[in-house]
Amino acid sequence: MGKDLENFKQRLSLLDYLQQQNWVARPAGHGHEFVGLCPLHQEIRPSFYVNARKNLFYCHGCGQGGDLLRFVQLSRHLSFRQSLAYLEQQSAPPTDPADVLEQVATFYQQQLDRYPEALCYLKQRGLHDPALIRELRIGYAPGGSLRRHLTAQGYSFDLLQRLGLLNSKGHDAFYQRVVFPCCRGGRIVNLYGRSIGVAFAHRFLPGSKGGLYTWEQVQYCPEVILVEGLFDYAVLWQAGFRHVTCSLGTHLNACQFQQLCDRPRTIYLTFDVDANGSGQQASQQLAHRLQAQGIATRHVLLPDGQDPNSFFVQGGDAQQFRSLLEAAQP
């Protein structure tokens, strides 16, 4: 809290605050000092000084002095805690969730290069192209640092908890996870975090996962490859397949289904070929629903036990994958 508080106080200008409260001042001597009538006591001759560089005030009339927090306590007759809450509210940045998630995604992106274990994980999953990593804005959540970063920017603890970025204990929700931003209409609506350890592989923030991944880039393509995971998407992108999108799971939400149906096209369903058959079962069901809407479908059959990611990681190449696309049956 001590460091948060210092950051918070440094971020808020006492002079700006006073001027917002219609305090009239003139420069006094050196460049950083201003003087005006004291807002804390009645006076005719100005004796209230503000040092803008130090962010402190002192009144030679009533003897009061201190920082902005102290000024709010005295002028509004509030306790220390109440003053803090008041200032937090006054200075809170706009709280559009997309803006917050934008900050979060940028922060995680900046972390990625600092954690060799994260880059190592990406390599293991076949992702090595820096252009891809930048383009998809892939980041890393080390855990334990997001809260400090965002509260220093003025976002309230409550808001961060409401968005699911902090858990009920106030800890970062994403811990040791590779993070992909999920967008809708160019705005980030959710984050997908893939654990680089063993626990709880997949995690989203609460709320909608948005539409199909990077749909804006493929929506006019006559043929679209649909995969279920972001690592599947990423290796295909890297192998040169750009008419690919991802449903972030085998169950499509209404928005995603609508997107696939909004014009005539052929969908290449490329779900996992897992041992229990759940990927292929989901693929069949989706094909029926799409066909009922007049959308052509093809089933891309990967070798047993594989998904597009493992196909490429285990040495498959673009030419071999193209052959699978050509062999795909309705």
Name the strand (E) or helix (H) holding 15: helix 14-20
94 DSSP assignment: P
- Nearest CA-CA partner of 75 in 39, 49, 46: 39
16 φ/ψ sector (left φ>0, alpha ψ -120 to 50, else beta)? alpha
Does position 41 interact with Zn ion (CB under 5 A)? The reply is yes
Does position 61 interact with Zn ion (CB under 5 A)? The reply is yes
Stretch that binds Zn ion, among 20-28, 51-59, 96-104, 173-181 (CB under 5 A): 51-59
Stretch that binds Zn ion, among 52-60, 71-79, 281-289, 294-302 (CB under 5 A): 52-60
Residue 47 or 156: the one with the smaller Cβ distance to Zn ion is 47
The residues in 21-40 that bind Zn ion, with binding defined as CB under 5 A, are 38, 40
Backbone angles phi, psi at 207, to 5 degrees: 100, 180
CB of 69 to Zn ion, least distance (A): 17
Does position 328 interact with Zn ion (CB under 5 A)? The reply is no
Backbone angles phi, psi at 306, to 5 degrees: -115, 160
Which residues, including other chains, have CB under 8 Å from residue 313's CB and lie 6 or more apart? 124, 125, 126, 235
Applying CB under 5 A, among 62, 255, 313, 328 the residue interacting with Zn ion is: 62
For Zn ion (CB under 5 A), the number of binding residues is: 6
Stretch that binds Zn ion, among 58-66, 114-122, 197-205, 251-259 (CB under 5 A): 58-66
- Please tell me the distance from the alpha carbon of residue 239 to that of residue 231, in angstroms, as a whole number: 12
CB of 38 to Zn ion, least distance (A): 3
CB of 31 to Zn ion, least distance (A): 23
Residue 45 or 81: the one with the smaller Cβ distance to Zn ion is 45
- Nearest CA-CA partner of 129 in 246, 235, 214: 235
Residue 72 or 252: the one with the smaller Cβ distance to Zn ion is 72
Does position 261 interact with Zn ion (CB under 5 A)? The reply is no
Which residues, including other chains, have CB under 8 Å from residue 7's CB and lie 6 or more apart? 151, 152
Applying CB under 5 A, among 59, 183, 267, 282 the residue interacting with Zn ion is: 59
Residues found near Zn ion in the complex (CB under 5 A): 38, 40-41, 59, 61-62
